[in-house]
């Protein structure tokens, strides 16, 4: 007899039963015949099932690879550069050519020229007219020899004026906040321009959180423009708190047009001046070549104010190069915009905080550089007393 086992689970069980009945000994009368032995067979152990399970495993490999790719993100650069330059710039209504124009062709070209001469690795822009305007600006920059391969736009409530980020290297993550809102006078109000958030990572383990903002302007609003700006600043502060809550040593740089002066309630709320030093934001207060700090000209009132900021977290403070953080001076800046750009330079390597660094800050903003005392010796400045 051929005792080869059939290649099927049901046939296997029948074959075992039939084989037992043929070979079982005869039993006397009155003796019950023994019950056939139950055989528990694992389907995966049978040869007929193995090819099916292997195919199923092979079919899941693309899913594993896709999940792994998403978890790892884009390939990281081998090492960070020696320094990183970040420019923040309100370009004043840089709309696409298909839209009604406020800027002249000369003004658009001057914006591109200033960015080109700034030689920044990352550029945070305010008042960009959407994706088309960003692409047109990138094309102007390419014509001047500067190419930013990465660009992203924040599409929030204000569809006319957007935040945008250009970068030489793509960030590992983009986490823009486009839907935050707050309650004011029994109304739900969305943050007009949202908040840009890019996370840059390098292979040496250094991580930089870059946040960009363009808070509510001082134009009249029946809900109160100051209150609206304060609520937006508070939401931006909450976002910063979330970052340092997850990682107290996070390197966070917040830049943008905050539309208010350093002594205002929105800026105080954002900087967290009532917190301990480790949770405050430090105002870098960049200077131009004449030690002036203003960034915006309101020509109607002939008013020069500082409303554009570069704020850093406590752990990032030692990596900032204060000497290379400044307001660049361009003779044709006013042709491009009513704002002047700010450039922040940092070294993307973890550095311990030196005691003399905090001595350069009063409370949480950079101490102004005093002029030589000989200039004011024996003189009265305004209502102040004579300097001794």
Domains of the chain in sequence order: 84-366 (3.60.10.10)
- Output the pLDDT for position 63: 41
State pLDDT tens for residues 302-312: 999 999 999 99
Mean pLDDT across the chain? 84
Highest mean pLDDT among 302-316, 343-357, 368-382: 302-316
User: 35 falls in which pLDDT band (50, 70, 90)?
Assistant: low
Structure tokens at 345: 């330079």
Structure tokens at 281: 């934001």
> What are residue 240's phi and psi, to 5 degrees?
-65, -40
- Output the pLDDT for position 13: 53
Sheet with 342-346, side-by-side order of all strands? 150-154, 162-167, 122-128, 84-94, 342-346
* CA triple 66-72-75, angle to 5 deg: 110
- Output the pLDDT for position 79: 77
Residue 142 confidence (pLDDT) above 70: yes
Structure tokens at 34: 């023994």
Structure tokens at 36: 């056939």
Residue from 273, 265, 291 nearest 371 by CA: 291
Residue from 256, 229, 221 nearest 91 by CA: 256
- Residue in the structure block whose two tokens are 């001794």: 388
Q: Please, what's the b/e burial string for 177-205 (b: 16 or more CB within 10 A of its CB; e: otherwise)?
A: bbebebeeeeeebebbbbbbbbbbbbeee
- Output the pLDDT for position 139: 98
User: 274 falls in which pLDDT band (50, 70, 90)?
Assistant: confident
Q: Which helix (H) or strand (E) holds 263?
A: none
> What are residue 199's phi and psi, to 5 degrees?
-110, 115
- Output the pLDDT for position 55: 46
More reliable by pLDDT, 305 or 38? 305
Distance, in Å, from the CA atom of 99 to the CA atom of 149, rounded to the nearest integer, reads 25
State pLDDT tens for residues 93-127: 999 999 999 999 999 999 999 999 999 999 999 99
pTM of the model: 0.77
């Amino acid at each position: 007899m051929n005792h080869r086992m059939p290649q099927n689970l049901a046939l296997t069980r029948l074959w075992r039963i039939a084989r037992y009945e043929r070979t079982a000994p005869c039993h006397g009368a009155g003796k019950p015949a023994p019950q056939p032995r139950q055989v528990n067979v694992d389907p995966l152990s049978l040869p007929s099932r193995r090819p099916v399970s292997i195919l199923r495993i092979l079919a899941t490999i693309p899913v594993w690879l896709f999940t792994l790719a998403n978890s790892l993100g884009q390939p990281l650069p081998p090492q960070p550069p020696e320094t990183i330059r970040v420019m923040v710039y309100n370009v004043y209504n840089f709309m696409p050519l298909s839209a009604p124009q406020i800027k002249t062709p000369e003004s658009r070209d001057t914006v591109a020229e200033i960015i080109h001469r700034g030689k920044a690795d990352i550029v945070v822009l305010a008042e960009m007219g959407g994706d088309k305007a960003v692409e047109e600006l990138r094309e102007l920059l390419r014509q001047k020899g500067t190419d930013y391969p990465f660009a992203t736009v924040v599409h929030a409530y204000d569809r006319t004026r957007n935040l945008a980020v250009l970068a030489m290297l793509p960030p590992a993550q983009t986490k823009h906040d486009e839907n935050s809102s707050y309650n004011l006078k029994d109304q739900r109000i969305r943050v007009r321009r949202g908040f840009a958030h890019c996370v840059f990572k390098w292979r040496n383990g250094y991580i930089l959180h870059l946040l960009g903002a363009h808070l509510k302007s001082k134009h009249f609003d029946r809900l109160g423009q100051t209150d609206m700006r304060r609520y937006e600043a508070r939401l931006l502060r909450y976002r910063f708190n979330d970052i340092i809550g997850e990682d107290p040593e996070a390197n966070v740089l917040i830049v943008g047009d905050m539309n208010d002066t350093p002594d205002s309630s929105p800026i105080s709320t954002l900087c967290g001046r009532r917190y301990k030093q480790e949770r405050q934001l430090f105002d870098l207060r960049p200077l131009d070549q004449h030690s002036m700090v203003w960034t915006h000209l309101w020509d109607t009132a002939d008013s020069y104010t500082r409303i554009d900021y570069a704020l850093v977290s406590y752990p990032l403070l030692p990596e900032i190069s204060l000497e290379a953080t400044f307001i660049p001076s361009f003779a044709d800046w006013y042709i491009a915009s009513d704002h002047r750009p700010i450039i922040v330079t940092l070294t993307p390597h973890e550095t311990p905080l030196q005691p003399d660094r905090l001595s350069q800050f009063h409370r949480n903003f950079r101490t102004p550089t005093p002029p030589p005392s000989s200039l004011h010796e024996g003189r009265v400045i305004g209502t102040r007393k004579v300097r001794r």
